[in-house]
């Protein structure tokens, strides 16, 4: 099993594109199992879908229907945090894995050369144990990244 997992992880890629000033975020995941494409409608920096709040001071998110990598139809809501530097998405209504929601945080490191995706599965039934999580780091195509000692 470990060899197969390493093959999938080693061949995993993710492509992202922003449109409409970051309001639409297109994500394309590619691995040995196949391709998973989705487009999320994101509210702005720190939860705003518009530049001004509603009359009550709140901001709105725009949920969209998407298919998960396992072909489940779910609701996805996303927004920008930390002044537009971290993209957060919630995928709710997942039935697989005992039911729950996926939360993902995407951001750049190392002057934009490293793309990070942190994901956690929030279980509906907390008795099933701790929420599993995973952190991916992708090197931007064409970037070089030195790992080692400076000596």
Percent of the chain with pLDDT over 70: 79
Q: Decide: 84 and 44 in contact? Cβ < 8 Å.
A: yes
Cα end-to-end span (Å), the chain: 38
Question: Is 150 part of a structural domain of the chain?
Answer: no
Q: Which domain holds residue 130?
A: 2-139
Give this prediction's pTM.
0.74
pLDDT tens series, the chain, 151 aa = 344 444 445 577 888 888 887 888 888 988 777 888 888 888 765 545 454 556 776 667 778 898 888 889 999 998 888 878 899 999 999 998 889 999 999 999 999 999 999 999 999 999 999 999 999 888 888 777 666 555 5
Residue 126 is part of a domain; what is its CATH number? 2.40.128.20
Question: Is 25 part of a structural domain of the chain?
Answer: yes
Mean pLDDT value across the chain: 80
In angstroms, the CA 43 to CA 12 distance is 28
Number of structural domains, the chain?
1
Question: Is 18 part of a structural domain of the chain?
Answer: yes
In angstroms, the CA 60 to CA 48 distance is 6
Secondary structure of residue 92 in the 3-state scheme: strand
In angstroms, the CA 76 to CA 25 distance is 12
Task: Kindly report the three-state secondary structure assignment for every residue of 47-73.
Answer: CCCCCCCCCCCCCCCCCEEEECCCCCE
Question: Is 151 part of a structural domain of the chain?
Answer: no
Question: Is 147 part of a structural domain of the chain?
Answer: no
Question: Is 118 part of a structural domain of the chain?
Answer: yes
Give the pLDDT confidence score for residue 8 in this predicted structure: 46
Question: Is 94 part of a structural domain of the chain?
Answer: yes
């Amino acid at each position: 099993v470990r060899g197969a997992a390493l093959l999938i992880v080693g061949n995993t890629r993710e492509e992202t594109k922003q449109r409409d000033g970051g309001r639409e975020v297109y994500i394309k995941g590619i691995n040995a199992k196949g391709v998973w494409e989705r487009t999320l409608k994101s509210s702005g920096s720190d939860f705003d879908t518009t530049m001004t709040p509603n009359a009550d001071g709140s901001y709105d998110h725009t949920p969209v229907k998407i298919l998960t990598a396992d072909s489940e139809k779910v609701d996805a809501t996303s927004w920008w945090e930390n002044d537009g530097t971290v993209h957060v998405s919630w995928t709710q209504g997942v039935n697989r894995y005992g039911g729950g929601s996926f939360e993902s945080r995407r951001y750049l490191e190392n002057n934009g050369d490293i793309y990070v995706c942190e994901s956690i599965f929030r279980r509906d039934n907390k008795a099933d144990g701790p929420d599993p999580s995973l952190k991916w780091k992708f090197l931007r195509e064409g970037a070089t990244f030195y790992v080692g000692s400076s000596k």
